[in-house]
Amino acid sequence: MVDMAEIETLCKEKTTLEAADIERVKEVSQSMQMMADLSRAHIFIDCLLADEKHAIVVAEASPSTARPIYQNKVVGNTAYGTFEPAVLYCLRSGKTLASNRAITQERKKVEQSVVPVWNGEKVVGVMIMEKDISDQLEKKERIETLSKTTESLSGLLLSHSDRQPLVPELMEEALFFVGHEGELMYSNPAAINLLDELIGGTCEYGENLLEYLPILTKVVEQKDELLVTEMEAFDKSFKIKKIRLPINDKYNGMFIILRDLTDLREKEKELIIKSVAIKEIHHRVKNNLQTVASLLRLQMRRGIPEESKIHFTESLNRILSIASVYEVILSNSSIDEVDIFELTERIGDMLVYNGFSNMKITVDYTGDRLNIESDRAVSIALIINELIQNCVNHAFEGRQRGHIDVIFEQRTDMMDVIVRDDGIGYKKKKSSSLGLEIVRRMVEHDLSGVFQIEGMKKGTEAKLTFPREGRV
């Protein structure tokens, strides 16, 4: 709402207007909001300052029906003659200025109309209507630029000079320039070769290209200025682009660009078939590993010497850890990479919840995720299996409960995997166990990394560090 008290204060303090003049300004301002909403424009009233060199904004109304031009309040601001010549001209001459272009102090382009506010024979102020035309001008500039570009390109293509056009001649895509009915006006060498390959002949300039390539009929008939589509014809796959020139351009017509995608689509089909085949192989490997695991379980149920049970259990877990790699591969969209965070969760949960231990062991997984190649994932699966299984078997002797943390930390080009328990602690022996020897060898030879294990005040920490990217 327009603030009448503010109008009166500004006029008394900043201008030489008399009381009757101020009342006239206030009277006119009462309809400003309605005018702003109807015109979808910003409305102001400016009055001449006492020095008569500049003006001051005494009232404003922002439209509720359009995006506002000004983000900040304008009332009370000075309208300097240098920046607002139309306002000062209208205040001094009493003449109306319509559709005058201006730039606001917030750097927006506006269309400005200025009309005098009269009190009898005296101009007591001006009413200004401003509409934001920045988008319109940008659109006009884009259209003009496009028109100039298409005219230049058309001139390049359709030039009949002795010097042959350079760009079209070098294009690998087939390029046709046709009229609105399909009459051929230009074709580059790739287009001539394509026609010869498809129909065993040529289309002369002036002939209707659609009679030779009917697949282009719908493309030509559509009114879109820009069209991109794919089509199957002549036992081939094509990507087709159409660029229609403005109707009133120097060269009326359209560019049609054909790109042969047949080889690309065939390779895509081959990759899909290969991907399906690889997935089937992964599926069979996983099933075979699970079959071996089932045979081991069956043997364990039928009875084995107690001293052999731990060795059967360790072998079983190793087999199931490798099978977990293929389960993760089959559950993901990529057949080449494995999320080692997800893989470790599967292996850890399998080891602590599969019933081989009577203890209550919990595992937490934290840190960064990383996808690695499937062949390195097999090595990491076995390493993680050995480390967690080592915790389950040895870290919590004489206890009913235990906790394991598995932490992943990424650096610029390296990855750390830490397995930490709160057990009895690691005691270094003269000769390392088979499990730790497997871990050390796989970290060094398969991952090109480093393995460390040491006891802490409470528990043990094992850490493997390896490059994020595999060896080339």
pLDDT at 146 > cutoff 90: no
- Dist CA 178 CA 163 (whole Å): 22
Handedness of CA 393, 396, 402, 407 (dihedral sign): negative
Query: In the structure encoding, which two tokens stand for residue 296, read together?
Result: 């081991």
pLDDT at 354: 62
Query: In the structure encoding, which two tokens stand for residue 73, read together?
Result: 């309040």
**Percentage of residues in the chain with pLDDT exceeding 70?**
78
Burial class of residue 206 (count of CB atoms within 10 Å of its CB; 0-12, 13-18, 19+) = exposed
Helices (H) and strands (E) in the chain, counts: 13, 18
- Taking Cα atoms as reference points, which of 63, 67, 47 lies closest to residue 127? 47
* Count of beta carbons in the 10 Å neighbourhood of residue 12: 13
346 or 45, higher pLDDT: 45
pLDDT at 122 > cutoff 60: yes
Give the model confidence (pLDDT) of 234-283 as tens digits: 888 888 888 887 666 555 788 888 888 888 888 877 766 666 665 666 56
pTM for this predicted structure: 0.40
Burial class of residue 223 (count of CB atoms within 10 Å of its CB; 0-12, 13-18, 19+) = exposed
Handedness of CA 115, 119, 120, 122 (dihedral sign): negative
Superfamily of domain 4-136: GAF domain (3.30.450.280)
- pLDDT-based confidence at 197, cuts 50/70/90? confident
pLDDT at 11: 92
285 or 351, higher pLDDT: 351
Domains 4-136 and 170-260 alike in fold: yes
Parse the chain into domains and list their residue ranges. 4-136, 170-260, 265-467
What's the rounded mean pLDDT across residues 377-398? 82
- Dist CA 207 CA 121 (whole Å): 74
pLDDT at 472 > cutoff 50: no
Residue type, 42: H
What's the rounded mean pLDDT across residues 354-371? 77
CATH topology of domain 170-260: Beta-Lactamase (3.30.450)
User: How do beta strands 122-132 and 414-421 pair?
Assistant: unpaired
Query: In the structure encoding, which two tokens stand for residue 328, read together?
Result: 């993760």
- Dist CA 469 CA 337 (whole Å): 12
Three-state DSSP class for 247? coil
- pLDDT-based confidence at 103, cuts 50/70/90? low
The CATH number of 265-467, from 3.40.50.150, 1.20.120.530, 3.90.1150.10, 3.30.565.10, is: 3.30.565.10
What's the rounded mean pLDDT across residues 444-460? 88
- Taking Cα atoms as reference points, which of 351, 361, 365, 356 lies closest to residue 422? 361
Handedness of CA 33, 39, 42, 44 (dihedral sign): negative
